[in-house]
Structure 1
Amino acid sequence: MTMFTNGFSTLQMPKDFEPVKAKDEFTELYLVNTKIPMSIKFSTTPTLVGLPEIRADIEKNLENNDRINLIASDFLPINDDIYYMIVSSFSDGENGVRRNEFLYVEDNNLYLFEFTYPYADRELDDFYLNIIRSLKISVPKYIVENGEYRINHE
């Protein structure tokens, strides 16, 4: 088992996934498995709002997007924490893609797991949960004060 760590958080990386260079500053880990095919993205962003506000904003944005189909949206206990889970699908006309997202807020940091793959498979539930359950937060990555954020160098 391979572990990922960035000094702020640690999590288990699944077997047969390869890291890909992240395209934005908030993505901590981006993995792909071309055999399945599936991608996993883990990101951390600063936030001043909690999961209820995040849920309302996401659902509002999805209502205005005809290309994305909302499958499920609910709060979910994982370990001793409450996550917001959203499952959606979209199509480019030829291929359908499913995305399962799990969001968690602690100390003004939003932790997001995003699993994207081209089919619906309930067999993957344990796969997702095992990765999410492996998350250990050492210290918050971002300090949010006075409407601004900075990286925690403590």
Structure 2
Amino acid sequence: MVMFSNGFSTLQMPEDFQQIPPKDEFTDLYLVNTKIPMSIKFSTTPTLSGLPEIMNGIEENLKDNGKIELITSDFIVINESLYYMVVSSFNDGENQIRRNEFLYVEDDNLYIFEFTYPYADRELDDFYLNIIRSLKIIVPKYIVENGSYKLNKEESSNSS
């Protein structure tokens, strides 16, 4: 079992996935498996919004986007924590792509898991839930105050 850690959070990485360097400051982990094919993205962003506001914003954006079909949008409990789950699909020209997103807010930090793959497969439910269940937040990545945010300098070095 391979664990990912960035000093702020840890989670279990599935086997047979390659880590790709993140393209933005909020993406903590980006994994791809070309055999399945599937990508997994784990991000952390600062937020002052709660899950109901985030849900409303996402649903509005999806409603206004004619290319993306909203399949389901609901709150679910994972590891006794409330997550917002949104499942959508879109066509990339060749395949029907499905995206399952799980969002969680704690200490003004929004944690986002995004699983993207070219088919709907109920067999994957346990696969991605196991990854989400493995999330351990060591310290918040961002500190949000006075209308802005900064990287938390605490990291896990003080909590080891």
5 Å matches for 1:7-86? 7-86=7-86
The CA deviation string for residues 101-120 of structure 1, in whole angstroms up to 9 with x for no partner, is 00000000000000000000
- If the length of structure 1 is used for normalisation, what is the TM-score? 0.99
Task: State the percentage of identical aligned residues.
Answer: 77
Paired residues, number: 154
Partner of 1:151: 151
Give the C-alpha shift of residue 92 in structure 1: 2.4
Where do residues 65-144 of structure 1 align in structure 2 (5 Å cutoff)?
Answer: 65-144=65-144
Q: CA deviation at 1:129?
A: 0.5
> 1:58-109 CA distances to partner (integer Å, 9 max, x unpaired)?
0001110000000000000000100000000000232110000000000000
5+ residue gaps, structure 1: none
User: How far off its partner does 1:133 sit?
Assistant: 0.2
| Aligned-partner Cα distance in 1 for 2:93–2:113 | 26
AA aligned to 2:69 is N
Give the TM-score taking structure 2 as reference length: 0.95
When the two chains are superposed, the root-mean-square deviation of aligned CA atoms in Å is 0.5
- Give the C-alpha shift of residue 2 in structure 1: 0.1
Structure 1 stretches of at least 4 aligned residues deviating more than 6 Å after TM superposition: none
Question: 2:151 and 2:71 mapped to 1: Cα distance?
Answer: 35
Q: Secondary structure of 1:12's partner? A: strand
Measure, in 2, the Cα distance between the counterparts of 1:61 and 1:31.
Answer: 26
| Mapped partners of 2:83, 2:33: distance in 1 | 25
SS in 2 for 1:129: helix
- Mark the runs of 5 or more structure 2 residues left unpaired by the alignment: 155-160
Give 1:8 deviation, angstroms. 0.4
